[in-house]
Amino acid sequence: MTPSRTDQEIRQHPKSDRPILELQNVCISYVTRAGRIDVVPNLSFSLAKGEALGLVGESGCGKSTVAYAIMKYLGGAGRVSEGKILFDGRDMATMTANELRDIRGRKLAMVYQDPMSSLNPTMRIGAQLEEVPILHMGASRAEARERAIKMLTEVNLPDPQTIVERYPHQLSGGQQQRVVIAMALMAEPDLLVMDEPTTGLDVTVEAAVLDLVAQLRRKHDTAIIFISHNLGTVLRVCDRVGVMYFGELAEEGPIRDVFANPRHPYTRGLLDSIPTMGADKRSRRLNPIVGQVPSALLRPDGCGFASRCSFMDPTRCLSGEIPTISMSGEAQHHVKCLRIAELPEHRRFQVVSDDQPEAVAAENNAEILTIDHLHKIYRQSTSPFGGEYRDVRALTDVELGAQRGRTLAVVGESGCGKSSLAKILTGIELSTKGKVRLMEWDIGSVPVASRSQAQKKSIQMVFQNPESTLNPSHTVGYVIRRALQRLKGLRAGEARKQAQDLLRQVNLPAEFASRRPRQLSGGQKQRVAIARALAGDPTVVIADEPVSALDVSVQAAIINLLIDLQDQRDTTLVFISHDLAVVRFLADSVAVMYLGRVVEYGTVDQVYSPPFHPYTEALLSAAPVAEVGKERTRIILEGTLPSTTEQITGCAFASRCPRKIGAICDTQPPPEQITPQGHRVLCHIPLSDLTKLNYQAAE
């Protein structure tokens, strides 16, 4: 490819003479019954000491494979079949098992997505951390304990003295991930490989962990390879970014240059498919990347991205070697594309005018779903012999409304009650107190089995996890036909015909009817789930995080589909999400939930502009943004989430609120402040003061 590249890079980092990690024309393959499959055909890059490189791309592009190859954890079938991986100048292929173990513990560490997979559930946190210095540095137990506590303090864990005595399951997900990071940093490694370290965490926790990583890196001068599918998180942590597609680096360079001026059509596609914070559905549609990553079995000649590229030139892109070109004027920015000189200049979408959305929002539709002082209390048995209970307050006094043909978004972190709300709406759970009115019915305390045919038909749901939403034993056609037969009472022949229509409406070819879920990609499964939900022409569709498990490129297509279908059918959408950018884009009105309460409620424009509830403000500041120059000062939430079993007398957010004004927050429930336009904020601070504080913080 470009042999001169590595020399050039070394020169760019004068503080180190030798890169900590260097990949030279590495080919990673898996040997299967079908023969050798080159998942990563030819990869070269280098990483200077203390540098942070982000690897981004859709799932199946080889990001994790590269990480595992660096760790030499490829497993039985995988191996580096060509090229060299040099760690600190030494070829890792020539190292003995002992040398490797030594390096892995002391110089090279990895952090995985699921913290529980790196923690031993039967060992106390302290003992697990102490292993590293005892085994690799010959430290005594007392020294090791001291180091462990010091490290736990560094990763901002409260009260490290008690944490060392705990078992992993006694910590929250965010705390577990911090422990894993502390463990990885115990030996002060030269290189830290992080594979989606924050993907399973809530936004506010994620923001804290990302800040921590950036801060520790500066302190210990650790080089980092940070793998993520979320472009925003990469922008927060890394100096350089490599965009991987189909096992190759499509584009690579300083992260600000790449994000501000993306050259490769794939990078542009990725950036265009995520909603920007300023944009919404009234001003534009998202631009998904069509198609999906091809199977590594069928590596085509020419450019791997050609089949999905809108700039593909059939005369040149489909054959021959595609060179990696260095951008003139931008040092270190490399693009693997023939046509970069010919491509039009790229512009991220900007809001053109904001009077149009206002006009639409003003128009009021009939309220079709009304949630009125809804409470949900789960009884939890505290004694194995029964008789003793404690109450878990999942929802407290929730009041919301959704209009016909509009989208009501419910946002909040895990445990805020948004899924409990969905379960009550669908009749899987019953409300404890309060009403849910759907058109003329009160459905809050009617279980789904007792709902009338018309009620079942009117409210349907799209689920979060594409892997469990479809029965693996049933074909796509059967799933949709069955829904049509049950909800609309159609005969088999008619159902068959309408099932084809539905498949077409969710942009799937008719022959998918005979496929089974395991033959579909995640996005295709979600489309089938949407078709199933729409089968009975519902008035209300509840979508519980329908895109959070999908790649950004696919996510954009599903969001567009939801918007189009809503336009055509005038369906009301209750969209449950933790992704504030998606909500900003898709929703008409937004409810922000915290610990079972709606803390802020209003139209999108009201919720996304001051005055913010302090929790909304923290959420917005924590959301990772993949736009250069749009990063905000982050508000890190300290303190712990109160347990849902506690009886809270004051404000639920008081224990973590950065704007807490005093004892009143702990003792008195906050008043509901409503503006004449209907914007509702649950806070002791007067709205005018909140607005002032918000603007001060933004400056």
Partner 1 sequence: MAQAEQVTRVRQSGRIWRRVKLLAESPVGMVGAALVLFWIIVAILAPWLAPYDPNVNDPSTVPDHIDPMMDPTPNSVYLLGTDNQGRDLLSRIIWGSRIVLIVAPTATLSAYVVGCLLGLLAGYYRGWVDTLISRFSDIVLSFPAIVLYILIITRLGPSALNVVIAVIFIASPQIVRIVRGITMEQRELDYVTAAKMRGESSLYIMLVEILPNTRGPLIVDACLRMGYTTIQIGVLGFLGLGLPPPNADWGSMIKDAYAMMSSAPHMSLFPAIAISSLVVGFSLLADGLREISLRD
Residues that bind partner 1 (CB under 8 A): 33-34, 295, 297-298, 426-428, 448-449, 451, 453, 456, 459-461, 463-465, 468-474, 482-483, 486-487, 519, 529, 532, 535-536
Q: How far is the CB of 393 from partner 1 (least distance, A)?
A: 23
Fill in the DSSP letter of residue 116: G
Terminal-residue alpha carbon distance, the chain:
46
Q: How far is the CB of 456 from partner 1 (least distance, A)?
A: 5
Q: How far is the CB of 65 from partner 1 (least distance, A)?
A: 20
Q: Please name which of 193, 32, 16 lies closest in space to residue 104, comparing C-alpha atoms.
A: 193
Fill in the DSSP letter of residue 307: G
Q: How far is the CB of 478 from partner 1 (least distance, A)?
A: 10
> Rounded to whole angstroms, how far apart are CA atoms 120 and 105?
16
Nearer to partner 1 among residue 329 and residue 386 (C-beta): 386
Question: Checking phi first, is residue 497 left (phi over 0); if not, alpha (psi -120 to 50) or beta?
Answer: alpha
Nearer to partner 1 among residue 325 and residue 446 (C-beta): 446
Nearer to partner 1 among residue 451 and residue 613 (C-beta): 451
Q: How far is the CB of 441 from partner 1 (least distance, A)?
A: 15
Nearer to partner 1 among residue 142 and residue 298 (C-beta): 298
Residue type, 144: A
User: Three-state DSSP class for 624?
Assistant: coil
User: Three-state DSSP class for 93?
Assistant: helix
Q: How far is the CB of 225 from partner 1 (least distance, A)?
A: 32
Q: How far is the CB of 470 from partner 1 (least distance, A)?
A: 6
Nearer to partner 1 among residue 37 and residue 100 (C-beta): 37
Nearer to partner 1 among residue 6 and residue 445 (C-beta): 445
Give the C-alpha distances (Å, rounded to integers) separating 218 from 22, 178, 180, 214, 222.
Answer: 21, 17, 18, 6, 7
Query: Over 458-525, what HEC string results?
Result: HEEEECCCHHHHCCCCCCHHHHHHHHHHHHHCCCHHHHHHHHHHHHHHCCCCHHHHHCCHHHCCHHHH
Nearer to partner 1 among residue 32 and residue 170 (C-beta): 32
Bond prior to 670 in cis (omega within 30° of 0): no
Q: How far is the CB of 551 from partner 1 (least distance, A)?
A: 20
Q: How far is the CB of 476 from partner 1 (least distance, A)?
A: 12
Q: How far is the CB of 607 from partner 1 (least distance, A)?
A: 29
Q: Please name which of 334, 249, 288 lies closest in space to residue 66, comparing C-alpha atoms.
A: 249
Q: How far is the CB of 425 from partner 1 (least distance, A)?
A: 11
Nearer to partner 1 among residue 78 and residue 232 (C-beta): 78
Q: How far is the CB of 30 from partner 1 (least distance, A)?
A: 14
Bridge partners, residue 69, by sequence: none
Residue 300: how many CB atoms within 10 A of its CB?
14
Q: How far is the CB of 590 from partner 1 (least distance, A)?
A: 25
Nearer to partner 1 among residue 191 and residue 461 (C-beta): 461
Nearer to partner 1 among residue 36 and residue 219 (C-beta): 36
Q: Please name which of 609, 624, 606 lies closest in space to residue 676, comparing C-alpha atoms.
A: 606
Nearer to partner 1 among residue 160 and residue 477 (C-beta): 477
Backbone angles phi, psi at 594, to 5 degrees: -140, 120
Residue 248 and residue 337 in contact, taking contact as beta carbons nearer than 8 Å: no
Q: Please name which of 212, 120, 139 lies closest in space to residue 174, comparing C-alpha atoms.
A: 212
The b/e string for 544-559 (b: 16+ C-beta within 10 A; e otherwise) is bbbbebbbbbbbbbbb
CA 235 to chain CA mean position, Å: 14
333 token code pair:
């920015």
Q: How far is the CB of 468 from partner 1 (least distance, A)?
A: 4
Q: How far is the CB of 40 from partner 1 (least distance, A)?
A: 18
Residue 425 and residue 459 in contact, taking contact as beta carbons nearer than 8 Å: yes
- Which residues, including other chains, have CB under 8 Å from residue 119's CB and lie 6 or more apart? 125, 128, 168, 176, 179, 180
User: Three-state DSSP class for 555?
Assistant: helix
Residue 374 and residue 444 in contact, taking contact as beta carbons nearer than 8 Å: yes
Residue 136 and residue 106 in contact, taking contact as beta carbons nearer than 8 Å: yes
Nearer to partner 1 among residue 519 and residue 640 (C-beta): 519
Residue type, 252: E
Q: How far is the CB of 220 from partner 1 (least distance, A)?
A: 43
Nearer to partner 1 among residue 451 and residue 578 (C-beta): 451
Nearer to partner 1 among residue 346 and residue 486 (C-beta): 486
Residue 193 burial (10 A CB sphere; 0-12, 13-18, 19+) = buried
Residue type, 216: L
> Rounded to whole angstroms, how far apart are CA atoms 422 and 70?
43
Q: Can you tell me which residue has the tokens 């309060």? A: 434
Residue 21: how many CB atoms within 10 A of its CB?
24
Q: How far is the CB of 544 from partner 1 (least distance, A)?
A: 9
Nearer to partner 1 among residue 347 and residue 491 (C-beta): 491
Nearer to partner 1 among residue 294 and residue 401 (C-beta): 294
> What are the DSSP E strand ranges found in 18-97?
21-32, 35-47, 52-56, 78-87, 90-91
Nearer to partner 1 among residue 290 and residue 428 (C-beta): 428
Host H or E run for residue 252: strand 248-254
